[in-house]
């Protein structure tokens, strides 16, 4: 199947920051969570794909079409919600949506008003009078009204209340049900995507250095407690190791192999506890360059 998007060797340089060389792609029907600290390069990555930034070099495609900045047809497949919400400030929601609708042949005014209703968004208010949360909602309605095959979401739920956030997630799950849509979801808040995402890609300092099915993380990572009265305890695939006398606590990225090692070393009272996606992500992001054990 055609990829929802591809980045090949994409580089974008700023005086104080360099993104890439970046290689990344996304299969239709899946959700890729794009996780990294503030300033890691998440927004730059998305801006290059949607054409808000011109990459220095490299190739990008959206459903097989190159993101040629002089030709806009590939943009019809994209719904984008960024951190900045650009509207005609003196127009109300209806007028802004009407204006946008003329660029998208697939735009459905019915879908737009149904979404506005679900998000509890007043469309008769002028954009400049909308609260932060309502501006986010208007962006979401605008991004979803033409039923795009690729959704690019950059911290889309920042500033909206929990009830509406749940409604937004509900809409995203509906979008996914057909199986031909893809979502690329950048955030630094893990709980938001820990349920939605199929895969996670970790970015830091402009480099995507780790990508994995989410389930592999929860299956392989464990916190293990054990006792071992030896000074020279060295274990492979260990991310964090604390000890108090002969009691140890380790975080490991490949539980099965760690358990084998511990048995060989003669460790006692071994207890393993699963870790949440959030805990694992924090360990990965704290641990700097994490290399997967094979």
Partner 1 sequence: MLLHLTDLSAEPLQAQIIRQIRAKILAGELSAGADLPSIRRFAREHHISVITVQRAYEGLEREGLIHSRRGKGFFVSQITERTKKMMAKEKLHDSLQPGIEDALAEGLDKEEVKNVIQTLLDTVTAKK
176 makes contact with partner 1 (CB under 8 A) = yes
Q: Which residues contact 45 (CB under 8 A, 6 or more apart)?
A: 7, 19, 22, 24, 34, 186, 203
Q: What one-character DSSP code corresponds to residue 291?
A: -
d(CA 276, CA 62): 33
232 makes contact with partner 1 (CB under 8 A) = no
Output 138 or 175, the one with its CB closest to partner 1.
175
d(CA 119, CA 122): 9
Taking each continuous run of H as one helix and of E as one strand, the counts in the chain are: 9, 14
Q: Which stretch binds partner 1 (CB under 8 A): 90-98, 125-133, 169-177, 235-243?
A: 169-177
Q: Which stretch binds partner 1 (CB under 8 A): 92-100, 188-196, 234-242, 259-267?
A: 188-196
**Comparing C-alpha atoms, which of 53, 67, 66 is closest to residue 17?**
53
Residues 187 and 32: beta-carbon distance below 8 Å? no
CB of 273 to partner 1, least distance (A): 6
DSSP alpha helix (H) spans, the chain: 42-50, 93-101, 109-118, 132-144, 162-177, 190-193, 214-220, 255-265, 277-286
The residues facing 241 across adjacent strands are 250
Q: How many residues bind partner 1 (CB under 8 A)?
A: 26
- 193-222 residues near partner 1, rule: CB under 8 A: 194-199, 213-215, 218-219
Give, to the nearest 10 degrees, the angle between helix 132-144 and helix 93-101.
30
- 148-167 residues near partner 1, rule: CB under 8 A: none
Output 278 or 292, the one with its CB closest to partner 1.
278
CB of 222 to partner 1, least distance (A): 10
Output 199 or 254, the one with its CB closest to partner 1.
199
Q: Which stretch binds partner 1 (CB under 8 A): 50-58, 141-149, 157-165, 269-277?
A: 269-277
Report residue 198: phi and psi, to 5°: -85, -40
- 21-50 residues near partner 1, rule: CB under 8 A: 29-31
147 makes contact with partner 1 (CB under 8 A) = no
Binding site for partner 1 (CB under 8 A): 29-31, 169-170, 173-174, 176-179, 191, 194-199, 213-215, 218-219, 273-274, 276
């Amino acid at each position: 199947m055609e990829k929802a998007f591809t980045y090949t060797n994409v580089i974008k340089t700023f005086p104080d920051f360099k993104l890439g060389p970046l290689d990344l792609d996304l299969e239709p029907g899946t959700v890729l969570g794009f996780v990294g600290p503030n300033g890691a390069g998440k927004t730059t990555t998305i801006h290059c794909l949607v054409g808000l930034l011109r990459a220095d070099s490299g190739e990008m495609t959206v459903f097989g079409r190159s993101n040629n900045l002089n030709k806009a047809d590939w943009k019809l497949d994209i719904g984008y919600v960024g951190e900045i919400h650009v509207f005609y400030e003196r127009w109300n929601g209806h007028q802004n949506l009407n204006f946008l609708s003329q660029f998208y042949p697939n735009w459905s005014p019915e879908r737009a008003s149904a979404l506005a209703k679900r998000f509890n968004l007043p469309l008769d208010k002028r954009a400049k009078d909308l609260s932060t949360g309502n501006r986010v909602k208007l962006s979401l309605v605008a991004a979803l009204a033409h039923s795009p095959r690729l959704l690019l979401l950059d911290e889309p739920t920042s500033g909206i209340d929990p009830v509406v956030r749940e409604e937004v997630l509900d809409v995203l799950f509906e979008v996914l049900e057909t199986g031909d849509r893809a979502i690329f979801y950048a955030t630094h808040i893990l709980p938001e995507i820990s349920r939605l995402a199929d895969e996670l890609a970790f970015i830091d300092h402009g480099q995507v250095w780790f990508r994995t099915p989410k389930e592999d993380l929860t299956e392989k990572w464990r916190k293990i407690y054990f006792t071992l009265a030896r000074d020279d305890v060295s274990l492979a695939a260990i991310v964090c190791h604390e000890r108090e006398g002969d009691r140890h606590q380790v975080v490991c990225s490949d539980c099965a192999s760690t358990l084998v090692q511990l048995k060989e070393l003669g460790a006692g009272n071994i207890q393993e506890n699963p870790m949440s996606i959030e805990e694992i992500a924090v360990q990965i992001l704290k641990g700097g360059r994490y290399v997967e054990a094979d």
